[in-house]
């Protein structure tokens, strides 16, 4: 089996117009200076017979010097971002087209200060960038351990035709992240349901979608008079699988379910502690309790 300490493949490709950038700086406990930036990239990409625009935030964090005292190349990325024109400052035609290199994806969990609910999602981190005229894209190539697969249902409990996959992504030091993936195309859904199984390790490829969707609903249940629909905006952050392995990887290249479960239990304990810490703060004293013991088919 593949050693849990061996990082999974984790490659993210982001190319698009630089929409805007925010910066921050400070000092670490050891006295080293650091700077961070969040660059939002507008990506218009076509796939699956559709074209859509996403706005992808990319986080960069860099100390001025490495632990060994050498100059940190990632520091230059933040400095370069300060010099580039963005859509915010120069308009869409004048904005720089950027490609982020050395880019990875990670799970992002936090407890909402308002509701006390656990919010789960993902964040994208990078270290380097380049400029040039390239085709927009926001894509991923990842090796994941399949923890759960189930058909998606809408709010009324009706099937949408999409397939939801919970995938474990092994990070540095055997840390397990859990990400949610979506399969949209009917042929792909049917193929995966026939050929992939819980506990398989597979390579998945696909697109990153971060956009807003407007939803209209009736403003009243009354049977008379004019119906004025209400419009709400919903944020959509999805990882869309468009391609992958035909079957699960051979044993030598697959993670051991026992080791994955151990790593999952460590993750679960950290989340529970985070929730306890949030409840102990004054702003969260009235928050509803959250059940972090999410169940997966393999447990």
Question: Looking at residue 55, which CATH number applies to its domain?
Answer: 2.40.50.140
Q: Which two tokens stand for residue 178?
A: 């859990």
pLDDT at 280 over 90: no
pLDDT digits (tens, 9 = 90+) for 112-153: 887 778 889 999 999 999 997 889 999 999 999 999 999 999
CB 98, CB 130: distance < 8 Å: yes
| 185 in a structural domain | yes
The yes-or-no verdict on residue 292 having pLDDT over 50 is: no
Within-domain flag for 182: yes
| Digit-coded pLDDT (tens) for 152-186 | 999 889 999 999 999 999 999 999 999 999 999 99
- Per the model's pLDDT, the better-predicted residue between 46 and 215 turns out to be 46
Per-residue pLDDT band at 282 (split at 50, 70, 90): low
Residue 169 placed within a domain: yes
| Higher per-residue pLDDT: 197 or 72 | 197
What is the per-residue pLDDT for 234?
A: 87
What was the pLDDT predicted at 251?
96
Q: Angle at the Cα of 98 (from 93 to 100), degrees rounded to 5? A: 160
Vertex 195 angle, CA 159 and 176, to 5°: 80
Domain for residue 288, yes or no? Answer: no
Q: Are 100 and 128 in contact (CB under 8 A)?
A: yes
Average pLDDT over the chain, rounded to an integer: 90
pLDDT, mean of residues 232-250: 95
In a domain, 223, yes or no: no
In a domain, 286, yes or no: no
- Please check whether residue 93 lies inside any domain of the structure: yes
**Diameter of the chain by CA atoms?**
74
Task: Report the pLDDT value the prediction gives residue 154, as an integer from 0 to 100.
Answer: 92
- Tokens representing 221 are 């249940």
Predicted model pTM: 0.90
What's the average model confidence in pLDDT over 63-71? 88
Please indicate, yes or no, if residue 265 is contained in any of the structural domains: yes
Identify the domain containing residue 179 by its residue range.
10-216+230-280
Q: How many CB atoms are closer than 10 A to CB 268?
A: 15
Name the DSSP class of 224: S
| Confidence class for position 286, pLDDT limits 50, 70, 90 | very low
* 59 band by pLDDT with thresholds 50, 70 and 90: very high
Q: Which two tokens stand for residue 176?
A: 């397990």
Find the mean pLDDT for residues 86-99: 95
**What's the structural domain count of the chain?**
1
CA distance 22 to 42: 15
* Residue 60: how many other CB atoms lie within 10 Å: 25
> Which residue, chain included where needed, has tokens 């087209």?
97
pLDDT of residue 187: 97
Mean pLDDT for 17-34 is 93
């Amino acid at each position: 089996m593949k050693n849990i300490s061996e990082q999974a493949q984790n490659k993210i490709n982001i190319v698009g117009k630089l929409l805007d950038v925010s910066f921050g700086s400070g000092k670490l406990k050891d006295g080293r200076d650091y700077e961070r930036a969040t660059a939002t990239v507008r990506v218009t990409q076509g796939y699956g017979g559709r074209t859509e625009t996403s706005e992808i935030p990319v986080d960069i964090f860099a100390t001025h010097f490495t632990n060994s005292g050498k100059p940190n190349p990632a520091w230059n990325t933040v400095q370069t971002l300060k010099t580039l024109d963005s859509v915010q400052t120069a308009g869409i035609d004048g904005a720089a087209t950027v490609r982020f290199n050395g880019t990875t994806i990670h799970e992002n969990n936090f407890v909402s200060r308002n509701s006390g609910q656990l919010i789960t999602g993902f964040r994208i981190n990078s270290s380097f960038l380049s400029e040039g005229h390239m085709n927009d894209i926001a894509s991923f190539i990842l090796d994941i351990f399949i923890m759960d697969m189930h058909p998606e249902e809408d709010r009324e409990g009706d099937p949408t035709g999409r397939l939801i996959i919970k995938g474990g992504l092994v990070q540095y030091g055997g840390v397990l992240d859990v990400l949610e993936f979506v399969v949209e195309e009917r042929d792909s859904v049917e193929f995966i349901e026939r050929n992939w199984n819980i506990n398989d390790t597979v390579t998945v490829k696909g697109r990153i979608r971060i956009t807003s969707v407007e939803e209209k609903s009736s403003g009243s249940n009354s049977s008379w008079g004019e119906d004025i629909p209400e419009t709400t905006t919903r944020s959509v952050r999805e990882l869309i699988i468009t391609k992958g392995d035909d079957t699960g990887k051979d044993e030598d290249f697959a993670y051991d379910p026992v080791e994955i479960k151990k790593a999952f239990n460590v993750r679960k304990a950290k989340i529970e502690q985070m929730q306890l810490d949030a409840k102990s703060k004054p702003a969260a004293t009235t928050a509803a309790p959250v059940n972090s013991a999410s169940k997966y088919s393999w447990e």
